[in-house]
Structure 1
């Protein structure tokens, strides 16, 4: 069975309040050119070709690929072919990456409310991690969106999946702006394994330059309350709050579902009040800690 680096993103059309509701006049041409070049370079480095899927035959292959990643029957794919077809027909995009072994990554996005100038990434998945394919796929989405006047991309991800948190916040430079409890309700697939589906909403400014180095967990004051594994869990320093999550929650769900459920409850209890107090997740350390800082008052 193939291993997967994956992100399941919400199909809701609600755009967070932090995303500007007034559309900018135009996307700078320099930003469009830069995004296109970045996407092409990322695909070349990953050794894949990324292109839009538009015909029904290709969309069926993409749907089967998504079912494989989420370990469901093809008849219960996270996004069936007819839904993908509707996305494309409505002006959205389905991208897929291919190498000599076939489809290795896929994504889909749709436009949000017109005044938001935002696109909503409904799903993104790669067959394996650590080869740059996920980054290349996201850059292809970014270039496509900027070319059509969008300046922000929004999606959701599971706060317990550390590899996705590091990718979204640390590598792409997105910010998690809100925490929602049990976003989808229970999902019985090979990734979520009937766990509650708490989600963070990520917001990625597409026309801004890549982020510089972000703060890493160092000498923060540790809270005495331990994590479910008995190790340090939360901390504070002058920059804000820190919260640690397990390194591989997907494997933990298979091995010890009660412990995985403890992690869900603990992280929820730790993060919800911090988001409610006006903080956002602006970084994620390689050691598995979220960094939450105050929203920019401007």
Structure 2
């Protein structure tokens, strides 16, 4: 794929935002093409997700092919040259969107902004090629990732996919079904530009007295709320569990109930014309008409 500078009016701003994000995180982010460095990326992904009966999350030969095809492999390095994060993306037919299918940061530095820097690098890479949209899927039960995707980056969700990959057999997903939300990130929107500058789309859950409880979660606490404020246009609030990874290990039956509960809440809301466009710090999705 050929690179055309300034292929999109927002491309220069996106590059500046990506550079600033990397500086704040204390890393250097590049498009990695070196064969041996791609082997390191395979190892990093294994250190994050472990292995399944199928092997590494993304094997070296697949990474090599993706790079050779001109698609994107973004890698983040600490000042001493240590690889600390990577993100991999391909381009959909007709160069209409970038599809980011894995991104991860080394254990222990998840709160340093490396993941944000990687996504901003992918955003700049896409806009440099005239691509205005990025999509990916993520687990609706992982509220931390949901907040990152919707509030910190500015993506939104209108689609729920049941058991997208089939039964997950890696060490994090612990044989759970692989329901996924489909994130759509409009790379040049005002929201995405603001997020790229470090101003997230923060949302706050209304006081419980200002909402109507529609459903309780497996833990007995409210899980689905409707705002009573007429100016909120029937906004819904959908709660994810605090830490689904720990819950899968300690109480797999309740974790499975959360999967069913979230599936029902999202599918009903999306069918009624809602979209998820933000997540609170306490794990509540905001769904707006």
Fold agreement, TM-score > 0.5: yes
Partner of 1:82: 61
Partner of 1:190: 171
Does residue 284 of structure 2 align to residue 289 of structure 1? yes
Q: Which moved more, 1:47-56 or 1:136-145?
A: 47-56
Contact 1:252 1:260 in 2 (8 A): yes
Partner of 2:205: 217
Match for 2:222 among 199, 215, 232? 232
Partner of 1:108: 88
Does residue 150 of structure 2 align to residue 162 of structure 1? no
CA displacement, residues 137-163 of structure 1 (integer Å, 9 cap, x when unaligned): 111111111111111110010000011
Separation in structure 2 between the aligned mates of residue 214 and residue 132 of structure 1, nearest angstrom: 17
TM-fit CA distance, 1:167: 0.2
Separation in structure 1 between the aligned mates of residue 81 and residue 225 of structure 2, nearest angstrom: 45
Does residue 42 of structure 2 align to residue 54 of structure 1? no
Separation in structure 1 between the aligned mates of residue 258 and residue 152 of structure 2, nearest angstrom: 24
Separation in structure 2 between the aligned mates of residue 234 and residue 73 of structure 1, nearest angstrom: 34
Partner of 2:3: none
Does residue 224 of structure 2 align to residue 251 of structure 1? no
Aligned-pair RMSD on alpha carbons? 1.9
- Name structure 2 gaps, 5 residues minimum: 1-5
Contact 2:7 2:128 in 1 (8 A): no
TM-fit CA distance, 1:85: 1.1
- Name structure 1 gaps, 5 residues minimum: 1-24
TM-fit CA distance, 1:213: 4.2
SS of the residue corresponding to residue 222 of structure 2 reads: coil
TM-fit CA distance, 1:113: 2.2
SS of the residue corresponding to residue 233 of structure 1 reads: strand
Partner of 1:3: none
Partner of 2:16: 37
Q: With structure 1 as the length reference, what TM-score do the two structures score?
A: 0.85
Q: Which moved more, 1:158-167 or 1:231-240?
A: 231-240
Separation in structure 1 between the aligned mates of residue 214 and residue 102 of structure 2, nearest angstrom: 38
Contact 1:63 1:74 in 2 (8 A): no
Match for 2:123 among 135, 142, 153? 142
CA displacement, residues 71-111 of structure 1 (integer Å, 9 cap, x when unaligned): 22798111101111111122201111111372211011111
Match for 2:273 among 278, 281, 291? 278
Separation in structure 1 between the aligned mates of residue 160 and residue 201 of structure 2, nearest angstrom: 24
Contact 1:68 1:74 in 2 (8 A): no
Q: With structure 2 as the length reference, what TM-score do the two structures score?
A: 0.87
Match for 1:95 among 74, 87, 93? 74
TM-fit CA distance, 1:291: 0.7
Q: 1:292 to 1:151 in 2, by over 3 A?
A: same
